[in-house]
Amino acid sequence: MAIFWTISFSGCGFLSIYYLGVYVCLLERAQDLIERTTKICGASSGALIGAMIASKCCKNLMELSKEARKGTLGSMHPSFNLLKLTRKLLVQELPSNAHHMASGRLCVSLTRVSDGQNVLVSEFASKNDLIQVNALICSCFFPLYCGVVPPSYHGTRYVDGALSNNLPYFSLRNTITVSIFSGESDICPYDYPFYFHEVRHSNVSIQVNFANVQRVIQAFFPPEAEVNLPLQPVYE
């Protein structure tokens, strides 16, 4: 009997380009697995990558990082608007039928502001519903870093899905978890820690080590494109 898979991407800010590398590697080495993947899930930037994969459109993602590195203060400069740039990228890159390609296949993790509960969205009425009405924008809204007033989706305000569920469907046996942080995820970087200790944040396993601290910083303040990062994946 054929097994159908779910791929779940955790939020990781500007380091989400790592996920495209993982997906390309799976396409090259595990084509059968990709063909039997029925759902792509994600929180925050992981949801953004999921939308691009589900819509078969992954171009120009590096433009966000390039814009964030401009100027003295980079992403902390008052003129830098991450949500505006993300919306512009999605409008330009996603095809007009992106909502058809994503509905039932893409699962976006959101955190409801009113009670802090997690909400998973997987049906989209239009491309506008997928982008402009803020299903993806809500999932990428990190409080204070992205602004003060959270965006709304269908009349309800949401913030970054990584705050309540950073790996949707992580507990299911047929879910392949992918994380930028070294830990117990199925696909993640491999580090050589001085001691083995981990913490769990919103369902993501994170080893306590210097490399992960560096990744947290780079998730908010992207490095130059030429920087070599300790991101070699390990497949468990």
Catalogue the active-site residues.
Answer: 44, 160
d(CA 32, CA 212): 32
Paired strand residues for 178: 9, 187
C-alpha distances out from residue 56 to 20, 39, 106, 137, Å: 11, 14, 12, 19
Task: Using the CB atoms, write b or e for 16-31: b if 16+ within 10 Å.
Answer: bbbbeebbeebeeeee
d(CA 45, CA 15): 9
- Reduced to 3 DSSP states, what percent helix, strand and coil does the chain have, rounded to the nearest 5? 35, 20, 45
- Strands 152-153 vs 5-9: parallel, antiparallel or unpaired: unpaired
C-alpha distances out from residue 220 to 65, 86, 177, Å: 10, 14, 22
Q: Are 40 and 34 in contact (CB under 8 A)?
A: no
